[in-house]
Amino acid sequence: MRVLITGFEPNDDGLNASESVVVSLRDNPTQELSQYLHYIDFKIMPGNTNGLRQVVDETLKVVSPDLCIGIGQARGYNRIALERMAKNLRYFVTLDRAGNAPKGEKVVPNAPIAYWNSLLEQDSLVSLLESRNIPARISNDCGTHLCNQIFYHFLHWRETRKSDMKVGFVHIPVLPEQVIKYWAESPFMPMEMTRQALSLIISRQIQMINPKLSAV
């Protein structure tokens, strides 16, 4: 059993909630996640749209995961958002870390217009989080920036290799320190709540893929 969890390096503000939370789970796992830690690879991905596909392909080749979940921050969100699909479109309103701003380009030429996520029983994850008083929802739009791009790369890799890998993407709200420093009016979610949400999602998916492992 191999699991890949990714976040993104900081872009324009020097802090990315997805990197902070992924590193926190790696270095200080929750109780739910600790029993699965030796199955999991944590990876922080570059914020460069032109080099992202190569990094994704190399990472998936090395890890060969059964489960791959990307994490990205979503300024303006007040709950955990589980994404349904990834689009074959890059349209950047803001620059990436390398200063690129593609307008209306395909993520992968000559590939399907979109892919559905392949997580198991995704709707039940919302109920699970809400039962723990964590706001959550299903999202039908992953945007057209780096989060959508990496999600599409994961799913395209799965499709072209006829893999059974389960793939999902989760958008998380920004952290309180980002509101204090940069976005005074933005909704946010405390680090510990976000950590708990992701731990529940990851552990539940692991358990459904391999029922022989301990339950959440």
The residues assigned a catalytic role are 83, 147, 171
Q: What is the DSSP letter of 178?
A: H
Is there a contact between 113 and 15 (Cβ–Cβ < 8 Å)?
A: no
Cα(18)–Cα(72) distance, integer angstroms: 5
Nearest CA to 170 out of 201, 205, 216 is that of 201
Nearest CA to 199 out of 17, 67, 21, 45 is that of 21
The pairing of beta strand 85-87 with beta strand 67-73:
unpaired
* CA 24 and chain centroid, separation: 15
What is the total residue count of the chain?
A: 216
Is there a contact between 26 and 43 (Cβ–Cβ < 8 Å)?
A: no
Cα(129)–Cα(27) distance, integer angstroms: 23
* CA 153 and chain centroid, separation: 12
